[in-house]
Amino acid sequence: MKNEKKIFSIILVLAMVIGTVALSGCTQETENKIIVGTSADFKPFEYKAQNGTIIGFDIDLIKKILTDQGYTVEVQDIGFDSLIPALQTGKINVIAAAMTITDVRKQQVDFSNPYYNANQAVLVKVGADVNITNINDLANYSVGAQTGTTGWGWINDTLVATGKLDKSKFNSYELYTDAVSDLINGPTRVGAIVIDSPVAKAFAKSGNVKIVLNITTNESYGFAVEKGNAELVNKINTGLTAVMATTYWEDLVEKYFTT
């Protein structure tokens, strides 16, 4: 009986040792894995290929930067407005979503150095009876944008808060792809969409929508990490500088912006 107890204790201790070793192995693995969050409705920066894989300028770039530094990368598709909360709660480690560096966001997350500049543009449906030549004309239509974006903020601050556009004519969408579908074939039939200029150009390539107005906002995109994660942001900045100095950068620009 005594011996049995002894053997049982030994087995218990062994199991604990094995368990600890196995667990530390797991931690090691997660330490080398980075989860990148994006909103894959923003071609050419992030979108879904025919087979469902998330690709795009931001995705290729952040994958290159992180894998060069020994990380494995997993990409998760999350609505734009939920990206910062997901970063703050540790569900993702990096945001790669053509995210504009703004003072408000800087209080919630830390940004890498800027990697791309953009402005806003106004998209309308080709052939629609819409006449927009300046920002005041927007007040005659319902205007849409993706919730939480700088385009959404611009409509809110410049048109709604100033009383130029009635609140009922401000349409918020979870995805920019939904906003553009609505522009083209309803059901709500938004008259115009405010969206980042490079993405407006990509949507216009379909021939169904066109840019009628450019709005200078002088935005710069950065990758975001959890506030205080200096180690990761430094690694991203080092990698970004290194990649920008190689032909990989030119090839990437060519791949996503000239075809």
150 binds ligand GLN (CB under 6 A): yes
Is 100 a binding residue for ligand GLN by CB under 6 A? The answer is: yes
Q: Does 223 bind ligand GLN (CB under 6 A)?
A: no
Considering only 34, 36, 37, 39, the residue that binds ligand GLN (CB under 6 A) is: 39
Helix 247-257 vs helix 57-68: crossing angle, to nearest 10:
160
* Minimum CB distance to ligand GLN, residue 99 (Å): 4
98 binds ligand GLN (CB under 6 A): yes
Closest approach, Cβ 252 to ligand GLN, in A, equals 18
For the CB of residue 59, give the shortest distance to ligand GLN in the complex, in Å: 12
- Exactly one of 80, 115, 173, 203 binds ligand GLN (CB under 6 A); that residue is 80
CB of 181 to ligand GLN, least distance (A): 15
Q: Is 177 in the site for ligand GLN (CB under 6 A)?
A: no
For residue 109, state whether it binds ligand GLN (rule: CB under 6 A): no
Alpha helices (H) in the chain, listed in sequence order: 2-31, 57-68, 83-88, 103-106, 150-154, 176-185, 197-204, 230-244, 247-257
* Token pair of 194 as six digits: 């405010």
Stretch that binds ligand GLN, among 66-74, 84-92, 97-105, 186-194 (CB under 6 A): 97-105
Residue with tokens 């071609």: 43
Name which of 149 and 171 has its Cβ closer to ligand GLN. 149
Closest CA to 227 of 96, 103, 111: 111
Contact criterion met (CB below 8 Å) for 99 and 105: yes
Question: In the chain, what's the furthest Cα-to-Cα distance?
Answer: 93
Instruction: Check whether the bond before 187 is cis (ω within 30° of 0).
Output: yes
- Rounded Cα gap, residues 203 and 43, in angstroms: 8
Nearer to ligand GLN, 140 or 181 (CB): 181
Looking at 110, 182, 196, 226, which residue binds ligand GLN (CB under 6 A)?
Answer: 196
Q: How far is the CB of 183 from ligand GLN (least distance, A)?
A: 16
The strand pairing partners of 225, in sequence order, are: 94, 110
Would you say 53 or 117 has its CB closer to ligand GLN? 117
Q: Which is nearer to ligand GLN, 68 or 91 (CB)?
A: 91
* Separation between Cα atoms, residue 188 and residue 122, nearest integer Å: 18
What is the total count of residues that contact ligand GLN (CB under 6 A)? 13
Please state the closest distance from residue 80 (CB atom) to ligand GLN, in A. 5
- Exposure string (b/e) for 58-70, b if CB count within 10 Å is 16 or more? bbbbbbbbbeeee
Distance CA 39, CA 92 (A): 13
For the chain, percent helix, then strand, then coil, each to nearest 5? 45, 25, 30
Q: Which of 112, 111, 110 is nearest to 227 (CA)?
A: 110
Q: Which of residues 128-147 bind ligand GLN (CB under 6 A)?
A: 146
Binding region for ligand GLN (CB under 6 A):
39, 42, 80, 97-100, 146, 149-150, 176, 196, 219
